[in-house]
Structure 1
Amino acid sequence: MVEPVSPLGAAWKPGAYPNTAGETGLVLSETRPGSIVQAAAWPGREKTLIDAIKSVTGLALADGAGAGQVDGAKAAFGFAPGKFLAIDQKEGLAAALGAVIDVDTGTVTDLSHGRTALRLAGPKADWVLAKFFALDFSQTTFPLGAGRATSHHDIFAQIQRSGAEQFDLYVFRSFARAFWTALCHASEETGYTVG
């Protein structure tokens, strides 16, 4: 298998970038999951779609925007009523979901080649993201597994809390380099490591 080329290109510069105090409080990375899939239910078929996602991924979801779950190599969250983003570190999730979600239930769209997955980890991850998005990133309002769909200027982003101090962001591949560069600049105050 040929490793896909990162859309970050020359903007990907591994290493430590400490702040003026010599600290590197964040780790920024590109995660490159094998599958990024959107599943959407027709009206009244949300429960059937949720059950199908669980049968394939093992992740139990509630209907509605924000509900989600993270389990090691897999994650899923609702970003609108009846619409979910599902992620697997392995390839083939779109085909597996397509095999159990029939045309009367909804649609399955493979976004793996159209999205870039970025991760911010560290005690100031929520603080840096708050510079971009008008969201409350506190653990009370944005708990582990929860996801949101929002935008920064014209860059659409889907965000999931994947750890106590960690967020995964999914952005259009064509905007990934510009967003990554902005993310690095926003992290200069805390200091960061790319890796």
Structure 2
Amino acid sequence: MAEPQSPLGHTFVPGDHGNSAGGIGLVLTERNDVSIVQVTAWRGTIPAILAAISDVTGLNVPDKPGAGRSAGEKSAFGFSPGRYFIVAPSDDLEERLRKAIPLETGTIIDLTHGRTAIRIKGPWSEWVLSKLFAIDFSEHGFPVGFGRATLHHDIHTNIQRIDAETFDLYVFRTFARSFWQTLGHAAAEVGYRVE
């Protein structure tokens, strides 16, 4: 089986870009080593869904809007009532979640081939993302582990804060190239590295 091609194509150019004379303000990477699964809880089953997510991932996601957790390359967060985004470097993530979550409890959708995962890391990450999204990216407004579902124009994006300077963004694969270029334009002012 052939290795899947990146939707970023020719726009993924490793190296330093933009105004890097004063240093690199950001590092942009494509995370192509993860599985992405969405879980939706039926009415009254959120505690059971959260327990199953915890059993499979080891991450205890609080029952609070936007709340999430991350550890290493694994993460999970709620992005709307009863809907959760789970990410892990595991080919069998969907299968393990299906075993842990009965049909009468909720639904599971593998989004791995429909989404592109982009990591933005560095001291200017909040500032650059604020150029693109009408969200408070400060740690007070967007704590570590939390996630949001939002739009940049018509490009739907799920965003999770991984640590003080790191965010993971998940965009539809068909919009990935355009969004990557937009992100590069927004980051050019502070200098960025593509890895």
Length-normalised TM-score, structure 1: 0.97
State the partner residue of 2:32: 32
Alignment-mate amino acid for residue 181 of structure 2? T
SS at match of 1:98: helix
Which segments of structure 1 move beyond 2 Å, counting only runs of 4 or more? Answer: 20-23
Aligned counterparts, 1:95-110, within 5 A: 95-110=95-110
Offset at residue 141 of structure 1 (A): 1.5
State the partner residue of 1:67: 67
Aligned counterparts, 1:55-94, within 5 A: 55-94=55-94
Offset at residue 65 of structure 1 (A): 2.5
Contact 1:68 1:76 in 2 (8 A): yes
Offset at residue 128 of structure 1 (A): 0.3
Offset at residue 18 of structure 1 (A): 4.2
Q: Alignment RMSD, CA only?
A: 1.1
Distance 2:137 2:193 in 1: 21
Where does the alignment leave 5 or more consecutive residues of structure 1 unmatched?
none
Alignment-mate amino acid for residue 177 of structure 1? R
Distance 1:188 1:18 in 2: 4
Alignment-mate amino acid for residue 117 of structure 2? A
Where does the alignment leave 5 or more consecutive residues of structure 2 unmatched?
none
Identity %: 52
State the partner residue of 1:115: 115
Kindly tell me the number of residue pairs found equivalent between the two proteins: 195
Length-normalised TM-score, structure 2: 0.97
Distance 1:165 1:20 in 2: 18
Distance 2:136 2:34 in 1: 29
Contact 2:18 2:187 in 1 (8 A): no
